[in-house]
Structure 1
Amino acid sequence: MTTAYDTPVVLDRREGPYGEVVLRRHGELLQIIANGCFLMDTSDGRSERLLIDAAYAALDGRPQPDVLIGGLGVGFSLAHAAADPRWGRITVVEREPAIVEWHRSGPLSALSASALADPRTDILKTDLVAFVNETCATFDALCLDIDNGPDWTVTDSNETLYSSAGLASCVRVLRPGGVLAVWSAQPSPEFERTLWNAGFQQVRTEEIPVARGVPDVVHLAVRPG
């Protein structure tokens, strides 16, 4: 029998610049849905933390590296980076104003309040693809988590980020020896090949164990020095 606890409850529904975004509660979990596609929830966070830690480890002890986090989501990546004093500037790009608001003054603030108050943190309300293509800023690490992976994008326009042209933009905003880390719900051998062809080095995939099914992964690649 289904109980009220088992039934998701919509806390907020918005029409954003890229379609509908929904925040709902399912038992103790908060979930973000975009255009009917489940994005993420507050159930775990291991893969989001690995995204940050693997990028830092690949920088080989570079002091106070600056990181660009693509996608605020439920805030796991930002909170984990802000909890680590070794990071320098922490820039988060989030295109959905509703998600930023849910963190600043809504139910997700419990996860991200201290990270948002950190003086190293800067939230940019813009599209990640456009930002990477247009910015003059550079970073030591790009940690990207805006889709369910290179092969399963939330919107068609995001596909360009994982193409040769999109990765060329990532190379441009990375400092020499900088790291690109991309979260994915499943491995993508094709994306690995594209990373190599785009000029990245040390391309590899780290798996995040799950209870069942295909493991989440983080694709890692290093810009040549």
Structure 2
Amino acid sequence: MTAAYDSPVVLDRREGPYGEVVLRRQGALLQIIANGCFLMDTSDGRSERLLVDAARAALDGRPAPGVLIGGLGVGFSLAHAAADPSWGRITVVEREPAVVGWHRRGPLSALTAGALADPRTSVVEADLVRYVHETSDTFDALCLDIDNGPGWTVTDDNGGLYDPSGLRACARVLKPGGVLAVWSAQPSPDFEDSLRNAGFQQVRTEEVPVARGVPDAVHLGVRPG
């Protein structure tokens, strides 16, 4: 029987600061569910890796750049960044303690143990929306994957990341010429307009075809130098 037809098995269920988060297994796949909304699983990871690679490519050879990854998820973006020696430092912001625990001591550790042990990697347990407004740190790239897209957020307050104030905060923590990359479950022309209106340049969208339905997308914009 294939994973698609196996009944999901709940491995852990936690009440976190933003609602319920669940880790479950379906066949060979691990899945994260937040407040009843499917977030991601370990089936593919192509678009999460593109999120990191597209940001790195847009930096045009900048030496040892620092990247902020918003959302740990199942760890595809972190593991892919850590596999690239050209990143100077890798900071992950994750607001759910349960997700961090599943990576440090639980079933997801098989995917990210090496990346978490990398001396370039640090994990900050914080709300990303608040973090980009409050941190004094700056980065060369922001790779954001905390929702199913700008128009499909896990919690209502996440919408503040994609409005004018949130995009200005993202630009604030980017170094001149830095890159903002935002994962989405579908392309959003409206979000491209939002990026341009917030002052980002070289705005574009890269797509990853999926087996059925609309493609995954990575929206990119560059802070002016």
TM interval, short-chain normalised:
over 0.9
Q: Following TM superposition, where does structure 1 have runs of at least 4 consecutive aligned residues deviating by more than 3 angstroms?
A: none
Q: Deviations over 1:47-86 (max 9, x none)?
A: 0000000000000000000000000000000000000000
What TM-score does the superposition give when structure 1 sets the normalisation length?
A: 0.98
Name 1:32's counterpart in structure 2. 32
Alignment of 1:50-199 (within 5 A): 50-199=50-199
Name 2:13's counterpart in structure 1. 13
The sequence identity of aligned pairs, in percent, is 81
Equivalent residues of 2:6, 2:27 under 8 A apart: yes
Assess, with a 3 A threshold, how the Cα gap between structure 1 residues 129 and 147 changes in structure 2: closer, same or farther.
same
SS in structure 1 at match of 2:214: coil
Residue identity in the other structure for 2:16: G
Residues in 2 aligned to 1:104 and 1:170: alpha-carbon distance in whole angstroms: 28
Residues in 1 aligned to 2:12 and 2:116: alpha-carbon distance in whole angstroms: 21
Residue identity in the other structure for 2:176: P
SS in structure 2 at match of 1:186: coil
Residues in 2 aligned to 1:179 and 1:16: alpha-carbon distance in whole angstroms: 31
Unaligned stretches of 5+ in structure 2? none
Residue identity in the other structure for 1:89: R
SS in structure 1 at match of 2:44: coil
Assess, with a 3 A threshold, how the Cα gap between structure 1 residues 36 and 128 changes in structure 2: closer, same or farther.
same
SS in structure 2 at match of 1:74: coil
Q: Deviations over 1:94-147 (max 9, x none)?
A: 000000000000000000000000000000000000000000000000000000
Residues in 1 aligned to 2:29 and 2:73: alpha-carbon distance in whole angstroms: 14
Q: Deviations over 1:166-210 (max 9, x none)?
A: 000011000000000000001111111110000000000000011
Unaligned stretches of 5+ in structure 1? none
SS in structure 2 at match of 1:116: helix
SS in structure 1 at match of 2:207: strand
Name 2:200's counterpart in structure 1. 200
What TM-score does the superposition give when structure 2 sets the normalisation length?
A: 0.98
**CA RMSD, 1 decimal:** 1.5
Equivalent residues of 2:31, 2:41 under 8 A apart: yes
Residues in 1 aligned to 2:8 and 2:101: alpha-carbon distance in whole angstroms: 21
SS in structure 2 at match of 1:99: helix
SS in structure 1 at match of 2:126: coil
Shift of 1:27: 0.2
Correspondence 1:215 to 2:215: yes
Shift of 1:2: 11
Shift of 1:211: 1.3
